Each structure stands twice: as C-alpha cells, then as structure tokens.
C-alpha cells in the first residue's frame, strides 16, 4: 500500500509540475507580445520599492485592519507552505514526518508555529468571506460593478472557502496524527503535542485506529492535492498577483505619477517644426505603423504584466471620480478586459503552434469601449490607490491616442480644443495676445 501511495504521489507531483510549467510558459509568451520597454534603471530604488510594497504590503496598511488581515493570510499561507517541503519528501520517500527525528524537541515548536499561522489564515478568511457575503463591501459587488458579474465574484468567494477548508484539513490532520501517536501506531513517530491541534484530539478519541488512519491519510492527501491544485489554479485567476506582485512592483514606473510619456515620433516632429531640433543624419523620421494602442501587442510588456497582476480589489475603481459620478469607466475593468484579451490571444497561440493568428478582434472596441476611455480625467487616482503599483491610466492613454490619432474619432468638444491649441496655443478661443488680460483687474488702483 505504501509503495502504491508513493508511486501515485510522484505521478501527481509530475502532472502538477507539467501543468504549471505549461501555463507559466504561455503567460510569459503573451507578456512578451508587448513592446520592449527598459525598466532596468535604479535597481536599488526598485528593490526597495518591491520590499516595501510587495513583501511589506505597505499600501494595504492604508486601511490598518484590512491590511493586517490580508498580511496574516499572505504571510501565513506562504510560511505554512514551507511545511509542504516535508510533505513532498514524505510522499516521494514513503516516510512520515521525515524531519521529526532530525529536529527533535524543536519539531513540535515548529509545527506549533505553523498552526498559529493556520489559525490566523482561517480567521482572516472567514472575516473576508463575511465581508463579501454579509457586509457586502460596495466595490466588490456585481450589482454596482458589471465587471464583477459571474466568475470574478464567485472566484473570490471560492478561494476563501478553499483556504478555510485547507486550514481545517491541516489542523485536523495533525490532531488525528497525535491520536495515532498516543495509540503507538509505528507509522506515526512520537513528536510531542502540537500547539493547537492537541485541543482537537478529543474529537478523535472514540474513533477506532483504522478509521483514524483513513481520516489522517485523507486529510494528508486533501491538503497536499489542494495545495497542488491551488498552485495551478492561481495561474488562471486573480491570485496570480501572489507571484507577480514582486516583479510588478520592482518594474513599476519610478517617475512621478502625473508625468505622462510623450510619443517620441510626435515629439521629434514638433521639435523639428518649431526649429528646436532637426535631424542631423538627413534620414527621414520613422513613422510608426500605428499611433497609440489598438490591441495588446501595441502595449508594452509592463502594461501586460500589470493586467496579469491585477488583484481585482477595486480600490482603483472606488477612487475613480468618473466612476463615482456614474460614468462607465472602471479602471479595474480596464485591467480585467486587458487580461481577458491576453487569455484569448494565448488560446489562439496554443491552437496555432505558438503564433498569433489574427482573429478579427482588438482590445479597443471588442473588450474596452470608447465611452470608457473617453471618460477618464487622467487624475491618477487609480494609479495612486493600487496596492501592487498597476497603472491603468497608461493603457487608457495609449488606447485613446489610437482612437484620436489613427482613427480620428475624438469627441467634437475635443476637436474644438485641439483646434484652439493649434491656433491660439491655449484650449480657449481667444487671441494669445489677450491671454493675460484677466490680470489687469488685479492691479492696484492708484
């Protein structure tokens, strides 16, 4: 029986590793569809940002209680899974608690520490689940935010339930293990009591030994397979931010949030027209195939990594003045739509040997509406609020540039403003010579 479990475990481990590798390779390939962008400057500042924002979760603590609960889940789940190393070795070697003989009296202390974390994760996940179902936090409700309809809303609830069940499995597995140790079962070495699970032992006192072994093995398999399933599942869900938060914050833009990136080809043309700068080589300026962005390959690789890193927390949308006033723009939806488009592109690539074949769709129009991007005031509230330094505004601006410059689809009021800027060097329709007339009234009277 032990040999069969060993073989089965190795087969499951190999299958999970293959599925995860296949999925990660596809995500990497779709991100690489984006345009190149150099984010290698100031490595020290970037590392500091990553440690503060991703590891330390600094921006989550803008709301201290929620920040603490989220930190408990994050750190707890990460550290608890250190125990996975022992479980994997047990499964591969056909042993049980392989580290116990080497750690001696420290082993129950270590498992007790893991149990403290497990209880913290359990409590935090229960609170988060209640916030989604009973308290109904507004920014997470599909009634108000259409992008949360269907799977996104269910996804958040399912993962919380899943984590709660996994934590219960860990604690009851340890309790059943302790009960079997008390009965002298040779497969369960004496370790001493564990901090929390020792109080659950009475639940198993009246069970016969065979039933205890079955339950302990069931909880062991449920826990490890649950972790394996989660490892693959997170690559398909918003929980990919658990991994991508680190590179995403490291490669975040270091310039002030209000600084917009000009289009180099347009900047060069304007400077040439104004006589500020001329081409010294005599070569004609390179005209790009497309101004702005129509589809995901027109965005940068960092924009695409942003889309995969989105946590769907909705803080950006809750802070967006356009959304607050009832307009269709939702920065969270912009990121979710970009990720949905990437997923469709990825499936397209899988069907066509790793190459993308035009499917007649584009990010703007088929996923994101013009009405949405035109509602943006470029206030940077969404950028300021994001806990993992995602920049929805950068995508909005590039989509808007394409509609205005490539397709000449600017709103009528914008066209009037553009004309005034061209003729009067100001958004308003009056002569540049009259620009400072308003100040005349401010001069003191003699």
Q: Is 206 exposed, middle or buried (0-12, 13-18, 19+ CB in 10 A)?
A: exposed
- Residue 444 above 80 pLDDT? no
> What are the tens digits of pLDDT across the range 378-423?
999 999 999 999 999 999 999 999 999 888 888 888 888 888 887 8
Read off the tokens for 180.
């079997």
Mean pLDDT of the chain: 88
Q: Is pLDDT of 1 > 60?
A: no
Q: Which residues are within 8 A (CB) of 212 and not within 5 positions of it... i.e. 6 or more apart?
A: 176, 179, 180, 183, 204
Mean predicted confidence (pLDDT) in 264-269 = 77
Sign of the Cα pseudo-torsion (227, 165, 187, 210, in order): negative
Share of the chain above pLDDT 70, in %: 96
Segment 260-274 shows an average pLDDT of 77
440, with CB counted inside 10 A (0-12, 13-18, 19+), is exposed
State the pLDDT confidence band at 138, using cuts at 50, 70 and 90. Answer: confident
- Predicted TM-score of the model (pTM): 0.85
Cβ neighbors of 222 (< 8 A, separation 6 or more) are: 166, 169
Q: Contact 285/269 with Cβ under 8 angstroms?
A: yes
What is the pLDDT, as a whole number, of residue 247? 95
Please identify which residue in the block is written with the tokens 């991007």. 373
Q: What is the CATH number of domain 264-278+289-421?
A: 1.10.1060
pLDDT tens digits for 318-352?
999 999 999 999 999 999 999 999 999 999 999 99
The beta-strand segments (E) located in 40-115 are none
Q: Looking up tokens 């990460």, which residue turns up?
A: 78
**At 134, is the pLDDT very low, low, confident or very high (cuts 50, 70, 90)?**
confident
Residues 6+ apart with CB under 8 A from 361: 295, 341, 344, 367
DSSP three-state, residue 257: coil
Alpha-carbon distance of 33 to 37, in angstroms, equals: 12
Res 180 pLDDT > 80: yes
Measured distance CA(64)–CA(21) in Å, rounded: 37
| pLDDT over 90 at 50, yes or no | yes
Q: What is the pLDDT of residues 70-82, one digit of tens each?
A: 888 888 877 777 7
Which residues face 368 on adjacent strands?
Answer: 364
pLDDT at 375 over 90: yes
Instruction: Determine what percent of the chain falls in helix, strand and coil, rounding each to the nearest 5.
Output: 65, 0, 30
pLDDT-derived band of residue 446, with 50, 70 and 90 as boundaries? Answer: low
What are the CA-CA distances from residue 236 to residues 216, 246, 356, 399 (Å)?
A: 30, 18, 20, 25
| Terminal-residue alpha carbon distance, the chain | 105
More confident call, 179 vs 433? 179
Running DSSP on this structure, what letter comes out for residue 300?
B
pLDDT for position 66: 86
Report DSSP state, residue 326: T
Of 392, 400, 399, which Cα lies nearest the Cα of 303?
392
- CB neighbour burial string for 369-390, b if at least 16 within 10 angstroms, e if fewer: eeebbbbbeeebbbbebbbbbb
Q: Which of 282-286, 313-317, 381-385 has the lowest mean pLDDT?
A: 282-286
Q: How far is CA 33 from CA 173, 263, 429, in A?
A: 45, 20, 43
Higher pLDDT, 406 or 295: 295
- Scanning the structure block, which residue is given the tokens 């949030």? 257
pLDDT for 135? 84
């Amino acid at each position: 029986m032990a040999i069969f479990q060993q073989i089965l475990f190795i087969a499951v481990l190999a299958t999970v590793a293959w599925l995860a590798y296949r999925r990660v390779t596809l995500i990497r390939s779709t991100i690489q569809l984006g345009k190149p962008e150099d984010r290698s400057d100031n490595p020290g500042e970037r590392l500091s940002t990553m440690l503060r924002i991703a590891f330390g979760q600094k921006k989550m603590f803008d709301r201290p209680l929620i920040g603490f609960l989220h930190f408990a889940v994050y750190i707890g789940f990460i550290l608890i899974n250190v125990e996975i190393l022992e479980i994997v070795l047990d499964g591969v070697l056909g042993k049980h608690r392989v580290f116990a003989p080497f750690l001696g009296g420290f082993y129950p202390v270590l498992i007790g520490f893991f149990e403290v974390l497990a209880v913290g994760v359990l409590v935090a996940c229960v609170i988060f689940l209640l916030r989604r179902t009973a308290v109904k936090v507004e920014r997470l409700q599909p009634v108000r935010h259409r992008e949360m309809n269907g799977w996104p809303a269910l996804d958040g609830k399912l993962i919380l339930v899943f984590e709660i069940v996994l934590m219960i499995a860990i604690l009851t597995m340890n309790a059943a293990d302790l009960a079997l140790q008390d009965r002298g079962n040779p497969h369960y070495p004496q370790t001493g009591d564990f901090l929390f699970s020792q109080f659950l032992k009475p639940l198993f006192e009246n069970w016969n030994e065979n039933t205890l072994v079955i339950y302990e093995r069931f909880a062991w398999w449920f826990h490890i397979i649950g972790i394996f399933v989660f490892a693959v599942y997170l690559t398909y869900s918003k929980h990919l931010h658990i991994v991508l938060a680190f590179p995403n914050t490291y490669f975040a833009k270091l310039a002030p949030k209000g600084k917009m990136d000009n289009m180099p080809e347009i900047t060069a043309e304007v400077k040439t027209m104004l006589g500020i700068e001329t081409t010294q080589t005599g070569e004609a300026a390179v005209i790009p195939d497309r101004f702005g962005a129509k589809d995901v390959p027109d965005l940068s690789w960092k924009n695409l990594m942003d889309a995969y890193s989105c946590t769907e927390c909705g803080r950006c949308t809750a802070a967006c003045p356009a959304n607050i006033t009832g307009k269709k723009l939702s920065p969270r939806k912009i990121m979710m739509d970009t990720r949905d488009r990437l997923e469709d592109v990825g499936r397209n690539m899988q069907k066509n040997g790793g190459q993308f074949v035009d499917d007649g769709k584009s990010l703007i129009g088929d996923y994101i509406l013009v009405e949405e991007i035109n509602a943006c005031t470029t206030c940077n509230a969404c950028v300021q609020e994001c806990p993992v330094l995602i920049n929805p505004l950068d995508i909005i601006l590039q989509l808007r540039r394409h509609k205005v410059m490539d397709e000449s689809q600017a709103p009528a009021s914008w066209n009037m403003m553009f004309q005034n800027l061209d003729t009067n060097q100001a958004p308003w329709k009056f002569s540049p010579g009259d620009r400072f007339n308003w100040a005349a009234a401010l001069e003191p009277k003699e």
